[in-house]
Amino acid sequence: MTDILDELQWRGLVAQTTDPAALREALAAGPVTLYCGFDPTAPSLHHGHLVQLVVLRHLQLAGHRVLPLVGGATGMIGDPRMSGERVLNSRETVAEWVDRLRSQISRFLDFDGDNPATMVNNLDWAGGLTAIDFLRDIGKHYRLGTMLAKDTVARRLESDQGISFTEFSYQILQGLDYLELFRRYGCILQTGGNDQWGNLLSGVELIRKADQAQVHALTTPLITKADGTKFGKTEGGAVWLAPDMMSPYAFYQFWVNTDDADVVRYVKVFTFRNRGEIAELEQTVAERPAAREAQRALAYDVTALVHGAREADAVVAASQALFGRGELRDLDRATLAAAVAGLPTARASAAGLPVVDLMAESGLVSSKAAARRAIADGGAYVNNVKVLSDDAVVATGDLLHGRWALLRRGKRSLAVAEFGDS
């Protein structure tokens, strides 16, 4: 296998490191103990956290010891944003979100075997720390000039909102995490997003001053689209990893809709396909872009990574079934509900309504007359079965899971009729 640092760089997963030569030497001599922190500032991780989880998994697979940290303490403070104070969540909310994040993280790493990951929570050491001890033992190593120069802090100080002492102190708490993990586990590497560079350096400098030791930091670049715009936003907001906040079907669709200009880069970042496999996908993008093989490979791999292979198989089956390449009635209720959730919808209280009415009401066609023409031309379908007469109705037996009937015009125009209470 190639050098792990070279591998991460080839995949586009390295933005900055504190000392590249020393870090490369340490990783080669390994195993190295490293950590990455995840704050419970929401009830789910999102696509940005996914980059960090992928990095941790690469490093664990390379034989290094991984400490995923859930911020039960830092989550009650919150990393300062570029504008405006965070709303402080209750202790109960933070504790609940900590449990959710622990469960999500556990899917990505091996916590058994010969090289198990160890989950840690910074509330274990920060929760019992007194203010006096914090100021005497930790605060004395920090200089205000350095803290004030941090980009986020500087911008907030120049804004009308300013910054509270609470959020200003966040960088010290993150530095404390690194110091504690260095002392408890021999941790010598912290990873994170490039926007966390200042916070990572906080820990590096604290360990140098407090324990006279050299440790390392590595950041990943901000993932963007080829046109430079931000990656990962949808109409519903972030690309959440929790299935109750973004269904596996919607998650899969997000990835399968990746632009040709971005897809190979995303395969490198978010999947574990080897260089040969990625080269083949890159060739298909160049020679047969309409086949969208790279997009389907990306979407399947990331969905399986986040939600499991069974869910990935289910959403692939749903995607195919919607367009007549699979059996709609084989889809489970949750997957079908997610698959039709974004389609134009005609709602009705009971079955028995004419297909032409439902096609028009859903917006699948512009009028009932247009629906009749589509039927006459052989281009109208209910549940992928061709409609043969313009007086056809959607009967009770046509309803999928007693609630939905899929409407299609031509090969790719879809809508849904939903029956019962909305």
* Whether the Cβ atoms of residue 94 and residue 45 lie closer than 8 Å to each other: no
Determine whether 67 is exposed, middle or buried from the number of CB atoms within 10 Å of its CB (0-12, 13-18, 19+). Answer: buried
Give domain 233-340's CATH superfamily.
Tyrosyl-Transfer RNA Synthetase (1.10.240.10)
How far is it, in rounded angstroms, from Cα 245 to Cα 239? Answer: 9
Percentage with pLDDT > 70 across the chain: 98
pLDDT score recorded for residue 411: 87
Mean pLDDT of 82-91: 83
pLDDT score recorded for residue 235: 63
Look at residues 170, 164, 173, 196 and name the one whose alpha carbon lies nearest to residue 85.
164
What per-residue string of b and e applies to 229-253 under the rule 16 or more CB within 10 Å gives b?
A: eebbeeeeebbbbbbebbbbbbbbb
- Average pLDDT of the chain? 92
| pLDDT tens digits along 274-330 | 999 999 999 999 999 999 999 999 999 999 999 999 999 999 999 889 888 888 999
Mean pLDDT of 68-88: 86
| pLDDT tens digits along 224-279 | 888 888 887 666 678 999 999 999 999 999 999 999 999 999 999 999 999 999 99
Read out DSSP for 33-96?
A: EEEEEE--SSSS-BHHHHHHHHHHHHHHHTT-EEEEEE-TTGGGT-PPPSSSPPPPPPHHHHHH
Q: Is the pLDDT of residue 145 over 90?
A: no
How far is it, in rounded angstroms, from Cα 295 to Cα 285? Answer: 9
Using CA atoms in the order 243, 245, 251, 257, what is the torsion angle rounded to 10 degrees? Answer: 170
Band of residue 406 on the pLDDT scale cut at 50, 70, 90: very high
Q: What is the CATH number of domain 4-220?
A: 3.40.50.620
pLDDT score recorded for residue 236: 63
Q: Is the pLDDT of residue 343 over 50?
A: yes
Domain boundaries, the chain: 4-220, 233-340, 345-419
36 or 142: which carries more pLDDT confidence?
Answer: 36
345-419 placed in CATH 3.10.290.10: yes
pLDDT score recorded for residue 2: 52
What per-residue string of b and e applies to 311-343 under the rule 16 or more CB within 10 Å gives b?
A: bbebbbbbbebbebebebeebeeebbbbbbeeb
pLDDT score recorded for residue 1: 37
**How far is CA 119 from each of CA 104, 122, 159, rounded to the nearest angstrom?**
12, 10, 37
Question: Can you read off the two tokens belonging to residue 23?
Answer: 């870090």
pLDDT score recorded for residue 364: 93
| pLDDT tens digits along 19-68 | 999 999 999 998 999 999 999 999 999 999 999 999 999 999 999 999 99
* Whether the Cβ atoms of residue 373 and residue 413 lie closer than 8 Å to each other: no
Question: Can you read off the two tokens belonging to residue 27?
Answer: 């990783």
* Least confident window among 49-58, 139-148, 210-219, 270-279: 139-148
pLDDT score recorded for residue 421: 65
- 3-class secondary structure, 243: coil
Residue matched to tokens 């609630």: 403
